[in-house]
Amino acid sequence: MTSFSSLLWIFTGDIGIGKTSVCQRLVNEARSLGWDVAGILSPGLYQGGQKVAIEAVNLRSGERRTLAWRINSGEIVEGEVIHTQEWRFDPDTLQWGNNVFEVAAPCDFLVADEIGPLELERGEGWVAALAALASRAYRLGVVVLRPSLLSHAARWAPARILVIRHPGQAVTLADLLEEDWRQPK
């Protein structure tokens, strides 16, 4: 790993705007430069144009696991199941993800896609991602955070915020590492 000042970016934007896609393009770019890429990317799984599940991809190993399934309308989730209003989470995948984040840093590029209410409001989910991000043991870090949770962004100060405004928004590693770069209005 190259010695470098640690930069952290928070990617935010509307649901389905392409935050994970931007992360994937940056991961591909970092790998092409020989960077050590770590963390988790969480692409959606779709059927008939509807997001029905969320996958988790270990960016170092490429291992993939199903993280969550959409809760059907009218379905009642009971017991010890970890869930939000929309998603039921696999506890084994959550633990696996914590294991991934526990050994993610140091690295060149750390990705946490996505940190949500489980971690920030309930202390569940990928809590090890919070520690990995706080370690600043990376050249560049990216955390995906929904707009409704931006009030939690202060925990990562001095992180920068990039609002993904449209699908396919062009962002490069050079953009993120450039001190004078400003997000488009």
The DSSP result for 94-127, as a single string, is HHHHHHHHHTT-SEEEEEEEEE-HHHHHHS-SSH
- pLDDT of the residue at 75: 61
Q: What is the pLDDT of residue 82?
A: 78
pLDDT for res 72: 76
Q: Tens of pLDDT along the chain (185 residues)?
A: 444 468 999 999 998 899 999 999 999 999 999 999 999 999 999 999 899 999 999 999 999 999 999 987 766 666 667 777 788 899 999 999 999 999 999 999 999 999 999 999 999 999 999 999 999 999 999 999 999 999 999 999 889 999 999 988 999 999 898 754 444 43
Backbone angles phi, psi at 70, to 5 degrees: -65, 135
Superfamily of domain 7-42+56-61+91-177: P-loop containing nucleotide triphosphate hydrolases (3.40.50.300)
Length of the chain: 185
Sequence ranges of the domains in the chain: 7-42+56-61+91-177
pLDDT computed for residue 79 by the predictor: 63
